[in-house]
Structures are given as C-alpha cells and as structure tokens.
Amino acid sequence: MTVSPPISSGPDRDTRRLGRLPRFIGQLWLAVSGWRLVGEPPRFRKCVLIGAPHTSAWDFPFALAMAAVAGIRMKWMGKDSLFRGPLGWLMRSLGGIPIDRSHPHGLVGQLAELMRQAEDLAVAITPSGTRMRSDYWKSGFYWIAMEAQVPVVCGFICYRTRRVGFGYSFVPTGDVKKDMEGVREFYREFAGRNPEQTSLVRLADENGAGGMAPPEVSPARGPRMGDN
C-alpha cells in the first residue's frame, strides 16, 4: 500500500493555507492554558487523524488549537442536523463535515469516498466514540483509512503533562491486531482529563473479524463546553 505523498514543507506553508488569525488564536489558547504542542505534524496530503484519550468536552478546543498551530485544515464529522439553521455556518467554519446517516454506503463509505475525492484532507475522529469508559474503540477510523488507502496519524492529549500533539502513524494492512499493537503502545503514557473514563485501546475486530464489513462510525453530537 502506498502512502500519499507529503505536502511540500516550508516555514510559511501552513500559515498561508490557514491564514495567520487561526494560528494566532490557537497559539494564544495554548499559551493562556499553559499547554504546549509537541511532535511533528503529519505531512501527508490525506490522512485519518485519531484523537485519544477522549474523556472531556474540553478536548475539542485543544484539538482545534493543535490543528491551527500545526497548520492543518482539520475536518471532523457531525450529524447533518448540526449544520441546519443559524449555527450551520459556525459548524462548517470549525471544520465540520455533515454526514447523512441514511446514506446507503454508511458513514465509513461516505468518509472513504470524501478522502478519495479530496486532494488535501485530514479527517479527525475520536475512536472511543464517547467520553465515558468503553471496552472497545469504534473501528471505523481503521476501515476508512483502509478503504481510502491513506495513513492513520495518532494525535494525543495529556492533561497530566499539559501536552497535545502528534506521534505514531501507520498505514492499515488489514491485520487489525498487529496494526493496533503500535497504537496501544503509543497511547500508554497519556492521561485524559478524567482518567477513570479512559476507554481501552482495542478494537472488537481484533477478535477475529478480519476483513468483515466494518462497523459504523458515530458522528459527533457537536461541541459542548458545559460539561467535563
């Protein structure tokens, strides 16, 4: 499987693509919060960017700041109902992609199709699918990357060390268990805002599902800042 070619690099490449204002706001957010961005931003034209551990609604603004400072035009998916009405423009401006849950090819098919058609796209997914503890991650991120033939990049947030950033990346091979071993090792050291709610880093597909039809990906319900 071939990894998509890297985006041309340069000191001002990301600033020109996103504009200086989003980057400034992201830097200001991290500075005021006492956080720092670490790790090398992904240099792929297309990728699935996963985020973990996800235990708080506050993860969302940190993820937006991370992407802005790194110069990534990050997209995330949400129920199409979020994009109707007066707040629809805001959801789109924050990188939201409306998803039709009645689509005959399902969410995995929709996202994979978007990835194939786009020239430059980083789709962010929280594989735990919930801020509460779960025994399994949702494996949609894996099958989207597999079907679209793009790499998976691991983004992280750590409230213990006040760091947010990027790290391990891989291209899915179809051997789910083997591919997930590196993901588990990478996320071992990071702590969410509510550590007791951290989901286990494993997929049900590792138990022998192999190349069977992938499960759905849960679209976001939209950012909510009033809870943890």
Measure the N-to-C terminal CA separation of the chain; round to a whole number of Å. Answer: 40
CB–CB of 35/158 below 8 Å?
no
Q: What is the pLDDT of residue 223?
A: 41
Nearest to 200 by CA among 180, 173, 220: 180
Nearest to 216 by CA among 131, 120, 74, 102: 102
Which whole-number Å values give the CA distances from 18 to 30, 66, 102, 211, in the listed order? 18, 13, 32, 38
Going 95 to 164 to 112 to 14, the CA torsion angle's sign is positive
For helices 59-70 and 20-33, give the axis angle rounded to 10 degrees.
130
Q: What is the pLDDT of residue 192?
A: 97
Q: Tens-digit pLDDT profile for the chain (228 aa)? A: 333 333 333 333 333 356 688 899 999 999 999 999 999 888 888 999 999 999 999 998 999 999 999 988 888 877 777 788 887 878 787 778 777 666 545 778 888 888 888 888 899 999 998 899 999 999 999 999 999 999 999 999 999 999 999 999 999 999 999 999 999 999 999 999 999 999 999 999 997 644 444 444 555 444 443 345
The answer, as to whether pTM is greater than 0.85, is: no
Q: Could you give phi then psi for residue 48, rounded to 5 degrees?
A: -100, 120
Let me know if 222 is exposed, middle or buried by CB neighbors in 10 A (0-12, 13-18, 19+). Answer: middle
